[in-house]
Every structure is written in C-alpha cells, then in structure tokens.
Amino acid sequence: MNPFILSMMISNLALGTIITAASYHWFMAWVGLEMNTLAIIPILAKQHHPRATEAATKYFIIQMTASSIILFSSIFNAYHTGTWDITQLTTHPTPSLLTIALAMKLGLVPMHFWLPEVMQGVNTMTALIITTWQKLPPMFLLYLTANQLPMVILLLLAISSTLISGWSGLNQTQLRKIMAYSSIGHLGWMFAILSSSQKLLLFTLTMYLLMTIPIFLILITSTTKTIKDLGMLWTTSPTSCTMTMIIFMALGGLPPLSGFLPKWLILEELITNHLIPLATTLTLTSLLSLMFYMRLTYITTLTV
C-alpha cells in the first residue's frame, strides 16, 4: 500500500476513535465508529489475497450490522426522550440493544465467531490493530453508559466469554487465533466489572493493552505465526523467547506478574458487592485460559 494512503487510513482510525471518545451525542459517536470501521477495511484487504479479502468482508458485515443496531437504538431512544445525549438511556429496549451491538463490535461470546477468522486472514500487524486499537471506541461508549446497561446481560456475556475463550483456545495451533481468544477472555473480565467499577475497567483495559502489544511486536519481529515456530524462538532470539514466556504467564494471570493484579482487584470488587458466585465462576473458567497460556509457555521452553 502507498505510504501516503496508509498514513491517511491510520489518521482516520485515530480521528474516528477521538470523535467517539469525545462525543456526548449519539449521532457523532456513530460517525466516529463508522470512520473507524471504513478506515481499517483497506488495511485489512491490502494483501490482495483471498483470505485477506474474506477477512475484510466479514469484518465489514459484522461492524456494519453492529453500527446499524447502535444507530437504531439511539434513534429509538431519541424519539421517546427527545434527546441524543449518550448518558440518557431511559427507554427500555435501548440499553439491551446497545449492549448487544457493542459486544458484537468487540467480539464477545456468542457474537465472537468473526474475530478468530478475521485475525487469521490478515497479517500480524493488522491483527495487532484489531485486538488493541479497534477495541477502544466501543469501550469508550461502554464506559460512558456503564451505569445504565443491564447487569444481567453484562454478566452473562462475561461468564460465557471467559468460558468459551479458554475452551476454544486449547485446540488452536495458530498464534493469531490464540490471541483472538485471549482478547475475548480478557474482555469477559472487563464486562464482569463494568457496572461495578469503571476505574477498574480502565485499569484492566490498560494492563491488557500493555501485555498484548509487546507479545504482538515479538511475533512480528520474529515472524512467528504458529506454535511450531514458537518452539524455535530460542535459537533466533533468547531475549525475545524469555520475554514471550513472561508475557504469556502474565496474560494467564499468574502471581506475582502484572496480569494477576487486575484479576485480583476484580475478584475483590465482586466479593465486596456480594457477587461471590460470579467471582467463583470467573475464577474456575479462567483456569482453561491459564492452561493454554501455560501450554504456550511450555512449548517456548522446549528448546531452551
């Protein structure tokens, strides 16, 4: 892709995210989401490969469907309330529709089937953008509307995402698909705490980004795409191999690494709010995710 066109697409990505994050008007938030989606489509399809074209098409259909639901719910809410304010979700179906649409954009269970396939069809750098930057606009909208979203739907999405992500990640050999299920699992933890503590939500999101970006940068520099390639990482770069093992264990939430802290604080907050069954369920379902993280760590150490 021409560097000028690529820089323009990346600028539009940033601009769309800023518009969504700074907007308190539903229409402007929707415009920011559309700019963000339309800017990444050429980036997804720039390889001129059938897999990349398929991934771009799937991404476009899912994002447009979710954006249509968001626009419909905002129009429905504005028709009954007379305001386009994001924080005024008083009409009954609107919060539920908005939660489902944003979960579809993020790729939570059961609207998650597109995310692993799209990430597998693009290169690793584009997969990095999908798992990090593209999560920000929907998360900003969730942050602004957190106190008005239905808690039952949020908790169901959280439990199902942590369970299915760990279960599905066990059977994968492609690292991009594994990172997709890792993203789904971490988003499940964020949804679990969304209605209880927005500050903890931002902290968990920040820690997820700080752990995910380095692991993708290592995969890009070492051209590692499969678990088999991961086993040969020590022969090319012992430093990268060591960092990869540490980050995988951090993503799994092993103490005393950084990934353990947000999960610990989330469980403490849930127990404080008398949601002990939810905290127990999240802990048990996260063991599946921890298992495939430890599996990756073990494979990385085979050649050490």
pLDDT digits (tens, 9 = 90+) for 52-71: 899 999 999 999 999 999 99
The pLDDT assigned to 254 comes to: 84
pLDDT of residue 302: 66
- The C-alpha atoms of residue 281 and residue 285 are separated, in whole angstroms, by 6
Contacts of 84 (CB under 8 A, 6+ apart): 25, 26, 27, 74, 78
Q: What is the DSSP letter of 146?
A: G
Alpha-carbon gap, residue 147 to 83, rounded angstroms: 18
- Contact at 8 Å (CB) between 154 and 95? no
Joined tokens for residue 52 = 């990349």
Burial 120-137 (b: 16+ CB within 10 A, else e): bbbbbebbbbbbbbbbbb
Q: What is the pLDDT of residue 289?
A: 85
Q: Position 71: which residue type? A: L
| Whether 97 contacts 148, CB under 8 Å | no
Angle, helix 175-193 to helix 151-169, in steps of 10 degrees: 160
Per-residue pLDDT of the chain (304 residues; tens, 9 = 90+): 677 777 888 888 899 999 998 888 888 999 999 999 989 998 888 877 888 899 999 999 999 999 999 999 999 988 888 888 888 887 888 899 999 999 999 999 889 899 999 999 898 999 999 999 999 999 999 998 888 889 999 999 999 999 999 888 888 888 899 999 999 999 999 999 998 888 999 999 999 999 999 999 999 998 888 888 887 887 888 888 889 889 988 998 888 888 899 999 999 999 999 889 989 999 888 888 888 888 888 877 765 5
* Residue 109 CB neighbour total at 10 angstroms: 22
